[in-house]
Amino acid sequence: MNIKFLQNNEGDDWDIGDTIRIEATVKESEPFEAAENADLVDPSTIEITITGYQDNEVVSNASMTQNSTGQYFYNWDTSGLDPGDYEIEITASQNGTAETDDEWIRLTD
């Protein structure tokens, strides 16, 4: 799975109040197959959790929106949040198997 943060060309810092589009790409591949050769697939569920300072979840297991086969997004409104580092965790599940990927993002004043 691949996670991307869109609409930010200046690095990993975002301003509080920004709406950040978070995208995830889900691919199914055979062992030892190059990721670029894998097929896009739709999992049965794909959810996002965003956790801030002291493990405070600001988004809990929210469903992501499908853009096309294997491509999903979530628009995160950061209004009213505190500055700091936030962990973005996306979990895709299919046939009893789950895969989780995470990234970090920083919100500034």
Q: What is the pLDDT of residue 30?
A: 58
Q: What is the pLDDT of residue 9?
A: 46
Q: What percent of the chain has pLDDT over 90?
A: 55
| 63-94 pLDDT, tens digit each | 999 999 999 999 999 999 999 999 999 999 98
Task: Give the β-pairing of 97-108 and 13-15.
Answer: parallel
Q: What is the pLDDT of residue 97?
A: 86
First to last CA, the chain: 31
Which option is the CATH number for 2-108: 2.60.40.1930, 3.40.50.2300, 3.40.1110.10, 1.10.3720.10?
Answer: 2.60.40.1930
